[in-house]
C-alpha cells in the first residue's frame, strides 16, 4: 500500500475533483474465508459492489502457514 499512497499538500484541499479515482483505479479486497466477525459472503458482496479484484485462501504467517480455506 505504501507505493500507492502519496504525500498530501495543502493545495490538494483546494483542488476541484472532476473524476473520482475509484472510478478508474483498480481495487483489491482480501476475503477471509473463515472470518467469524464479518461474514465472508458479505465481504464477497462488497467485492462485487465495488468491482474489486478478490484474493482468497492466503497462507498467513500468524496461522503457522496453514491455508485459510
Encode pLDDT of 53-67 as tens digits. 998 866 555 555 455
pLDDT computed for residue 41 by the predictor:
93
pLDDT computed for residue 64 by the predictor:
52
The x, y and z cell numbers of residue 3, run together, are 507505493
CA distances to 32, 39, 69 from 61, rounded to whole Å, are: 14, 22, 15
CA distances to 16, 41, 61 from 30, rounded to whole Å, are: 32, 12, 15
Helices and strands of the chain, counted as H and E runs? 1, 2
pLDDT computed for residue 5 by the predictor:
77
pLDDT computed for residue 36 by the predictor:
81
State the DSSP H helix or E strand holding residue 47, giving kind and residue range, or none if neither: helix 40-50
Question: In the chain, which residues have pLDDT < 50?
Answer: 65
How many Cβ atoms from other residues are within 10 Å of residue 47's Cβ? 19
- pTM beyond 0.75, yes or no: no
Amino acid at each position: 500500500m505504501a507505493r500507492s499512497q502519496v504525500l498530501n499538500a495543502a493545495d490538494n484541499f483546494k483542488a476541484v475533483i472532476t473524476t473520482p479515482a475509484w472510478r478508474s483505479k483498480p481495487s483489491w479486497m482480501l476475503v477471509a474465508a473463515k472470518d467469524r466477525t464479518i461474514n465472508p459472503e458479505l465481504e464477497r458482496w462488497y467485492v462485487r459492489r465495488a468491482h474489486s479484484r478478490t484474493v482468497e485462501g492466503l497462507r498467513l504467517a500468524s496461522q503457522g502457514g496453514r491455508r485459510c480455506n
